[in-house]
A = this chain, B = another copy of it.
């Protein structure tokens, strides 16, 4: 089995000291091997943002794409190389804002990939504008009077579209993070992992203590991850005034993944299929047009 070291490289992250992304980084270095993966058996697809630089700081196959486009790139990748484990890592602005449409369609397709969203409720890399998950009234440079957009509820959105794995975790709880990530990596289909991640530079109102005071583990409160309505009720708790549920809110493995159903993939991964076919088939193409 690989170890965290196998996934490490010598590049020092550019994140601010204290940034919640370090926790996610450490969790990934441990979750990946724990899920039985090696650097060349995973493809980590990221978007653009602070946290999307994740694959620059790992020894792993990586695609660092465009702001908001991690999911379609990952979908194309998965379809062409479906025995690779595909893990997306990106920010809330990236995944839920710019990438919202890809998010919703990835969910309903149940494409087999892990979608880790580093949710710091702000745009970090562009220096602190409000994000789709920002709390109402959040004062930023693009909302000097406080935001008036109500926050997006991404877990509820995923559930509403029949997501097969919906989870949340918190960057200060390494064990919890690892457990949730490993479960996601072993899941059949699309797995959403929303990570509560403090941004110490631009979202000081939501610091580690703020989160610590609010998070609670759903599995310690009799939650049934097979009950979609219960999951929805938990999802609606946050964003909100009260507590923040973490853990696996919902999971089912009864739904086939998208890639399981694509006829072309029955003969094996696309990337390994020969480019030339049985010569007899070619004539038929011309006959169709004759």
Chain A residues engaging chain B, CB cutoff 8 angstroms: 97-101, 104-105, 108-110, 132, 145, 148-153, 156-157, 159-162, 229, 232-233, 235, 255, 258, 261-263
By a CB distance below 8 angstroms, the chain B residues around A110 are 150
Asked, given contacts A105-B100, A229-B229, whether A258 binds B156 with beta carbons under 8 Å apart, the answer is no
CA distance A145 to B262 in the complex (A): 9
Number of copies of this chain in the oligomer?
2
By a CB distance below 8 angstroms, the chain B residues around A255 are 150
- Which one of A98, A132, A235 has the highest number of Cβ atoms from chain B below 10 Å of its Cβ? A132
By a CB distance below 8 angstroms, the chain B residues around A104 are 100-101, 104, 152, 157
By a CB distance below 8 angstroms, the chain B residues around A235 are 160
Do residues A150 and B109 form an inter-chain contact, with CB atoms below 8 A? yes
Which residue of chain B is the closest to A152 with respect to CB atoms? B108
Do residues B157 and A261 form an inter-chain contact, with CB atoms below 8 A? no
Which residue of chain B is the closest to A110 with respect to CB atoms? B150
Asked, given contacts A100-B100, A104-B157, A157-B157, whether A162 binds B150 with beta carbons under 8 Å apart, the answer is yes
Do residues B233 and A151 form an inter-chain contact, with CB atoms below 8 A? no
With both chains docked as a complex, state the minimum distance between the C-beta of A222 and any C-beta of chain B, in angstroms. Answer: 19
Within 8 Å by CB of A148, from B97, B232, B262, lies B262
By a CB distance below 8 angstroms, the chain B residues around A258 are 148-149
Within 8 Å by CB of A261, from B100, B148, B232, lies B148
Do residues A159 and B160 form an inter-chain contact, with CB atoms below 8 A? yes
By a CB distance below 8 angstroms, the chain B residues around A159 are 160
By a CB distance below 8 angstroms, the chain B residues around A108 are 132, 149-152
CA distance A98 to B105 in the complex (A): 10
Do residues B149 and A132 form an inter-chain contact, with CB atoms below 8 A? no
Within 8 Å by CB of A161, from B98, B156, B232, lies B156
By a CB distance below 8 angstroms, the chain B residues around A263 are 145
Query: What are the 9 A-B residue pairs with the smallest beta carbon separation, nearest first?
Result: A156-B160, A101-B101, A160-B160, A100-B101, A148-B261, A108-B150, A157-B160, A109-B149, A100-B104
CA distance A164 to B149 in the complex (A): 14
CA distance A101 to B95 in the complex (A): 11
CA distance A98 to B229 in the complex (A): 28
CA distance A159 to B156 in the complex (A): 9
CA distance A132 to B162 in the complex (A): 14
- Which one of A109, A156, A235 has the highest number of Cβ atoms from chain B below 10 Å of its Cβ? A156
By a CB distance below 8 angstroms, the chain B residues around A152 are 104-105, 108, 161
With both chains docked as a complex, state the minimum distance between the C-beta of A248 and any C-beta of chain B, in angstroms. Answer: 18
CA distance A108 to B100 in the complex (A): 13
Which residue of chain B is the closest to A262 with respect to CB atoms? B148
Q: Sample 20 A-B pairs with CB under 8 A, ordered by A number.
A: A98-B101, A99-B101, A100-B101, A100-B105, A101-B104, A104-B104, A105-B132, A105-B149, A108-B150, A108-B151, A148-B258, A148-B261, A148-B262, A149-B258, A153-B162, A157-B160, A157-B161, A159-B160, A160-B235, A229-B232
